[in-house]
């Protein structure tokens, strides 16, 4: 693992798996009434298989929600060094995509399951100045483009062609960086994003400091100036909506993880891992709806 804050609990969970298996920034504008997200329920998040991310899958109809965690990484994938999986997403036609990273090197990997069940892998070679992190993916509503995020304090999101969906992609060719989303406000430690509309993203931030928006672990909305593509960069207006739910029987540092917006129900789900030993007992996937 790369020595980044994102993985402070990952090493501990890896050990648990082994046991189980033997510059100043501007203040963000206030949220509007339409951006009031209210908690409506929660479900326990398993620390091995539901600790990194989640997504709803629309095709085929009746598909179950999918989760990622250190326990969902296939043995052969881990053996090749891809030892961290991030927050996944699925295109509206049923392609399911997981982002992977290694401890070192100059590549990222996206593992794709097609609607027919077959798996393939697409490798992206880092562009100059690009961070190694591969924290999350969010497929655009038209399916052709995929946003990806780097960890740390960032002022951009990355745009790549959606592997397996965009006809210009192939497992045998490099998956290129084609453009960026230029943010008007820095974000920190974004762990997941999902499209809630054609040009609107909802994102979970694991920001432990609170200096960017006046609150730690914020739920963010990013409004794009246009749909992402390979034609040109687009801008993104960032708004902090609220602090994510932080409840546990243990005290200490929570870790905000992946996020999913289910357009069929209007439900937003976000994973929050609890501090200390309580990571095993009361980590949660929270459900929120706009009111």
pTM (2 d.p.) = 0.89
Q: Residue 35: what are its φ and ψ, rounded to 5°?
A: -100, 20
Looking at residue 121, what is its pLDDT?
Answer: 98
130 CB contacts (<8 Å, ≥6 apart)? 150, 158, 177
* Structural domains present in the chain: 5-20+28-290 (2.120.10)
Q: Tokens for 245? A: 């739910």
Comparing CA positions, the residue from 121, 125, 128 lying closest to residue 85 is: 121
DSSP of 197-216: ETTEEEEEE--SS-TTTSSS
Q: Which residue has the tokens 């027919």?
A: 116
Q: pLDDT tens digit string along 50-99? A: 999 999 999 888 899 999 999 999 999 999 999 999 999 999 999 999 99
Residues 199-216 have pLDDT tens digits of 999 999 999 999 999 999
Please write the tens of the pLDDT for every residue from 6-64: 444 544 444 444 433 333 333 444 444 457 999 999 999 999 999 999 999 998 888 99
Rounded Cα gap, residues 204 and 277, in angstroms? 23
């Amino acid at each position: 693992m790369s020595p980044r804050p994102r993985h402070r609990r990952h090493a501990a969970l890896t050990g648990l798996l082994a046991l189980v298996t033997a510059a100043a920034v501007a203040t963000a504008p206030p949220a509007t009434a339409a951006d009031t997200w209210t908690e409506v329920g929660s479900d326990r998040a398993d620390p091995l298989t539901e600790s990194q991310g989640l997504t709803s899958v629309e095709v085929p109809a009746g598909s179950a929600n999918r989760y990622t965690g250190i326990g969902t990484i296939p043995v052969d994938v881990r053996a090749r060094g891809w030892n961290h999986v991030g927050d996944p997403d699925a295109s509206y036609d049923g392609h399911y995509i997981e982002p992977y990273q290694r401890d070192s090197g100059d590549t990222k990997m996206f593992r794709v399951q097609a609607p027919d069940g077959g798996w393939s892998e697409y490798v992206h070679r880092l562009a100059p100045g690009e961070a190694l992190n591969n924290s999350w993916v969010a497929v655009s509503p038209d399916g052709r483009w995929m946003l990806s995020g780097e960890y740390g304090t960032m002022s951009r999101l990355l745009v790549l062609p959606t592997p397996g969906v965009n006809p210009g992609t192939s497992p045998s060719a490099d998956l290129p960086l084609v453009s960026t989303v230029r943010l008007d406000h820095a974000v920190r430690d974004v762990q997941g994003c999902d499209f809630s509309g054609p040009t609107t993203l909802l994102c979970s931030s694991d920001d432990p400091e609170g200096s960017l928006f006046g609150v730690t672990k914020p739920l963010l909305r990013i409004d794009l100036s246009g749909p992402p593509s390979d034609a040109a960069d687009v801008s993104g207006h960032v708004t902090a909506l609220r602090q994510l739910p932080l409840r546990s029987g243990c005290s200490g540092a929570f870790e905000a993880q992946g996020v999913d917006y289910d357009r069929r129900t209007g439900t937003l789900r976000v994973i929050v891992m609890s501090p200390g030993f309580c990571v095993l007992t009361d980590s949660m996937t929270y459900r929120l709806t706009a009111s």
